[in-house]
């Protein structure tokens, strides 16, 4: 589910496919470094007159283009992300081979869109989630996205496409980035410094994920591709472009959007679409997980005071650990109960039941249902921690389960009604 304030909550779909919104592009001049102007394509959900109301406050994505390329190589990706409810900024670089300057120009784009959020005369007034910024890019633009993330805590997720390092700049930067990093890359060639993306992945801190698109060349992350890149690096292939879209976009849907139902497209979850791509030899996969750490970084950045398990920065009834467990936004008060009671029927008998959301493979927390007859003595029932699951005990039994990535579980008491005068169930979420 999407959290309040982040717009619609459609069922998770293949991240390579367009979302529910109409996309619009404006080409604007944005102040850059050294007094220069960045000619920038800005994509967003809606029309030239207004952002779609259903999109809510939109996360922001920055895209950096490759060396000797332009924003025109990422038109379809910008449009695609906008249909999924993102504001996307793709500037033409003024920096030539100065990757550090281009990184700072990407940060200038954040400054600009953040200012528009508070500008009553702006199309974007009140519609920007400047605390949910993602950075991606291709080749040298991917390197600049990495450098920008190492310098700017507003960037909360990084997902470059076949990035190419230069003189170890990216390796050094990744050693300082706490945000979750997904590096998707092509086969080694002279066009990508013989596969320097793998070196970058190895240098990144956990949480991180690395995916190689089997058979892909350095042009495939462009959409549409440039004739120059096709000539020297190979022609793009629509199936491989789709895989790049899937794994770049999916990372942002899961982390920036905070939608755990995208987990099967993000991680190697049994029976999921990523696992199917892996089995079909369309991709290779490597991961260093730290899901709770990633969630803290995306939501709080460097604000450690608000990030603790028991902190409750939005003032609702749920502390951070429960916000994580229930896939809700810890910065927007949630008025909808995450756990509810009901009566369920098994073999003609009625039982007290409890419904709650569960992150499928969250092995860093434990969900435990407990039962009581008097609210004083509690007995442990069904327990869940990642793939370790106890679904039936003397006290409770799992009644139903639906969903993937983010599941909805119903666990019932084992004492039928009205065999006992009163029965109670509670859910405890703990971090081992």
Classify 179 as helix, strand or coil.
Answer: coil
pLDDT band at 10 (very low <50, low <70, confident <90, very high): low
Domain that holds residue 415: 340-430
At 288, which CATH number? 3.40.50.1820
Q: What is the pLDDT of residues 53-76, one digit of tens each?
A: 999 999 999 999 999 999 999 999
Mean pLDDT, to the nearest integer, of 301-328?
94
Same-domain check for residues 244 and 376 = no
Per-residue pLDDT at 9:
45
Res. 324: pLDDT tops 90? yes
In this structure, is residue 357 part of a structural domain? yes
Same-domain check for residues 290 and 399 = no
In this structure, is residue 208 part of a structural domain? yes
pLDDT band at 419 (very low <50, low <70, confident <90, very high): confident
Q: 0.85 cut: is pTM over it?
A: yes
Output the CA–CA distances (angstroms, integers) from residue 202 to 7, 32, 110, 181, 253, in the order listed. 36, 32, 28, 11, 24
Nearest by Cα to 211 from 298, 275, 143: 275
In this structure, is residue 73 part of a structural domain? yes
In this structure, is residue 12 part of a structural domain? no
Question: Which residues neighbour 21 within 8 Å (Cβ) at sequence distance 6 or greater?
Answer: 45, 46, 52, 54, 55, 82, 83, 84, 85
Output the CA–CA distances (angstroms, integers) from residue 319 to 1, 295, 354, in the order listed. 18, 14, 20
What percent of the chain has pLDDT above 90? 93
Res. 4: pLDDT tops 60? no
Same-domain check for residues 141 and 283 = yes
Res. 29: pLDDT tops 60? yes
Same-domain check for residues 38 and 166 = yes
Same-domain check for residues 296 and 347 = no
In this structure, is residue 6 part of a structural domain? no
Same-domain check for residues 269 and 135 = yes
Paired strand residues for 59? 129
In this structure, is residue 369 part of a structural domain? yes
Q: What is the pLDDT of residues 83-114, one digit of tens each?
A: 999 999 999 999 999 999 999 999 999 999 99
At 369, which CATH number? 2.60.40
In this structure, is residue 408 part of a structural domain? yes
Q: What is the pLDDT of residues 355-384, one digit of tens each?
A: 999 999 889 999 999 999 999 999 999 999
Structure tokens given for 429: 């979420």
In this structure, is residue 332 part of a structural domain? no
């Amino acid at each position: 589910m999407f959290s309040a304030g982040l717009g619609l909550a459609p069922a998770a779909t293949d991240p390579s496919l367009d979302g529910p919104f109409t996309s619009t592009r404006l080409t604007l001049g944005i102040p850059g470094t050294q007094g220069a102007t960045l000619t920038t394509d800005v994509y967003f959900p809606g029309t030239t007159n207004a952002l779609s109301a259903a999109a809510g406050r939109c996360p922001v994505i920055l895209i950096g283009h490759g060396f000797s390329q332009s924003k025109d190589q990422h038109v379809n990706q910008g449009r695609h992300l906008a249909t999924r409810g993102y504001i996307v900024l793709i500037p033409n670089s003024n920096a030539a081979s100065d990757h550090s300057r281009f990184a700072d120009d990407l940060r200038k784009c954040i400054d600009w869109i953040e200012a528009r959020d508070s500008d009553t005369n702006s199309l974007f007034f009140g519609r920007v989630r400047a605390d949910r910024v993602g950075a991606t890019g291709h080749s040298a633009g991917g390197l600049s996205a990495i450098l920008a993330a190492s310098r700017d805590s507003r960037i909360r997720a990084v997902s470059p496409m076949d990035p190419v390092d230069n003189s170890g700049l990216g390796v050094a930067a990744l050693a300082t980035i706490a945000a979750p990093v997904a590096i998707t890359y092509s086969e080694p060639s002279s066009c990508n410094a013989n596969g320097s993306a793998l070196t970058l992945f190895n240098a990144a801190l956990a949480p991180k994920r690395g995916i190689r698109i089997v058979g892909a060349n350095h042009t495939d992350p462009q959409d549409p591709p440039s004739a120059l890149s096709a000539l020297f690096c190979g022609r793009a292939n629509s199936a491989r472009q789709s895989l790049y879209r899937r794994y770049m976009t999916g990372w942002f849907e899961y982390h920036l959007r905070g939608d755990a139902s995208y987990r099967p497209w993000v991680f190697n979850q049994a029976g999921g679409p990523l696992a199917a791509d892996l089995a079909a030899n369309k991709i290779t996969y490597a991961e260093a997980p730290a899901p709770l750490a990633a969630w803290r970084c995306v939501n709080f950045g460097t604000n450690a005071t608000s990030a603790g398990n028991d902190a409750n920065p939005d003032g609702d009834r749920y502390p951070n650990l429960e916000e994580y467990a229930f896939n809700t936004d810890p910065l927007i008060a949630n008025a909808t109960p995450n756990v509810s009671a009901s009566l369920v029927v098994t073999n003609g008998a009625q039982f007290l039941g409890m419904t709650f959301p569960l992150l499928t493979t969250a092995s860093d927390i434990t969900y435990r249902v407990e039962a009581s007859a008097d609210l004083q003595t509690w007995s442990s029932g069904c327990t869940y921690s990642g793939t370790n699951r106890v679904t039936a005990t003397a006290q409770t039994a799992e009644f139903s389960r639906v969903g993937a990535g983010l599941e909805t579980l119903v666990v019932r008491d084992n004492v039928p009604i009205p065999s006992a005068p009163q029965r109670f169930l509670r859910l405890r979420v703990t971090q081992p």
